[in-house]
Homo-oligomer: A and B are copies of this chain.
Amino acid sequence: MEFHNDKISEAVIRRLTDYLRCIRIASSSDKTLLTSKDISETCGLKPSIIRKDLAQFGAYGVKGQGYNTHDLTRHLNNILGLNNIKNIILIGAGHLGTAIARYPGFITANFNFIAAFDTDPEKIGSHIGHTKIYSIDKLNKYIKEQKIEIVVLAVPSDEAAGIVEKLDSNYVKGILNFTSMVFPGRIHDMYVHNIDLAKELEVISFCMKNCLTQKRDDQINNE
């Protein structure tokens, strides 16, 4: 990779994905150049930080003009490693798991649900879209055979810990955890990322009442 700086925080990465989305939205129009101001208006961040984030990875812009949407998309995809298709699996084919597997955004980002796993005998053998559901007994065998690195976990919360514990960490390096179970950032050298939908609602609910400014990491006032 061609970028010089040696340390990038997760916050920066999150913003890069935002920029990518903003470009996607904007490029539906015929504009071929976007300025940091343009992007800032879509995603609500300040132009200065957008410029700084992008400059960190190289001078992608043209002074006086802005950023070429096509080039910038390519660069961002490259930084984020989204250029090649990554096979991932789904564990738990309930309502949420099914919805996740069908979520169109994954395809855009080049993630492919190659298989799903569940305990329910009625589900085993059926499909979610093109993704076949297998018995969870075959999970680690499949992981090994297909060298699966990323797993999406959408089982009932009380089953989550047991499954994570058993996952073959020789192959699995990342877990996207949609259960209400909380895991520390790393388990057996696997990177775990917790997403709790209710949490997001809790945050928004608090922010609604207390937020005064409109920036991302809001400063909030209480009496």
Contacts and interface: CB of A to CB of B under 8 A. Distances in A.
A126 interface: no
A108 to B, nearest CB: 7
A197 interface: yes
Given A6-B222, A8-B222, A14 B208 contact: no
A124 interface: no
B191 A207 contact: yes
A35 interface: no
Interface residues on A, range: 35 or more
Interface in A5-63: 5-11, 13-14, 17-18, 21-22, 24-25, 41-44
B22 A201 contact: no
A80 interface: yes
A214 B186 CA distance: 6
Given A8-B210, A174-B207, A210-B8, A201 B21 contact: no
